[in-house]
Chains A and B, each alone.
Chain A
């Protein structure tokens, strides 16, 4: 998997305190990107879900945060990486209510609904990368 772009901020995800820290950092960046209150709330909530997944299922990892600009609009892109067991069946993992842990099974599907862009790359035994973006 390619390394994160040079202008991104990389945060560690190793404990539930890091999940809180990620929410705060994403909030600051999303506000900076000019996202409205509802959009900010959506991307922060999605980040919280994915950071917790990285912690609970991936055994910890990182989140890289980048401001994006396609010429017309600005936004924020978040990349979650872990070196955990990977996801064997992505379609199944995205289904609401499906969980291999003790959560509600809303994390992945829910996070997808809260974002404008959502992509999963996962290799069993190697790790998982989830990329999300929210545009203004």
Chain B
């Protein structure tokens, strides 16, 4: 069975989805990413979906699950490159991807992950005041 390649980029993992994802491929990606996060001690996962022409509720749910599992393993997930028509459709479909961070492109996504790495302890501190 074909699989989506996962690249290591510093402390992050980069996944570029370039094929029309069928359901088994999405599920395999979920498994592979989880294993790779642990193997490399990755702090971040970047998922580039700029080649995806649609995101339906199954793919949306897969992205949500990947983000949730990554978080439990101390890695942040950023989905980048969503096409405008996909964004419009996704919201109308009723999916907000509330648990997933997004950025316009890979560069901004990497910047977002770097920010988190620079200030790892301050996030849950008492910031009110």
Contact = CB atoms under 8 A, between A and B. Distances in A.
Contact of A48 (B54, B84, B85, B95): B54
A110 B53 contact: no
B94 A45 contact: no
Contact of B56 (A17, A38, A49, A113): A49
A40 B83 CA distance: 13
B94 A96 contact: yes
B92 A114 contact: yes
A90 to B, nearest CB: 18
Given A20-B22, A38-B89, A45-B89, A103 B94 contact: no
B22 A38 contact: no
Contact of B61 (A23, A27, A104, A114): A104
B54 A16 contact: no
A24 B89 contact: no
B35 interface: no
Contacts of A24: 20
Contacts of B111: none
B93 A103 contact: no
Interface residues of B, number: 23
Given A41-B88, A45-B93, 20 more contacts: A16-B23, A16-B24, A20-B20, A20-B21, A24-B20, A27-B53, A37-B85, A38-B89, A41-B53, A44-B53, A44-B54, A45-B56, A48-B56, A48-B58, A49-B93, A52-B56, A104-B57, A104-B95, A106-B95, A114-B92
Interface of A: 16-17, 19-20, 23-24, 27, 37-38, 40-42, 44-45, 48-49, 52, 96, 103-104, 106-107, 109-111, 113-114
Interface of B: 20-24, 53-58, 60-61, 83-86, 88-89, 92-95
27 contacts: A16-B24, A17-B22, A19-B23, A20-B20, A20-B22, A23-B20, A24-B20, A38-B85, A38-B88, A41-B53, A41-B83, A41-B88, A42-B88, A42-B89, A44-B53, A45-B54, A45-B56, A45-B93, A48-B56, A103-B57, A103-B58, A106-B57, A107-B57, A110-B92, A110-B93, A113-B93, A114-B92
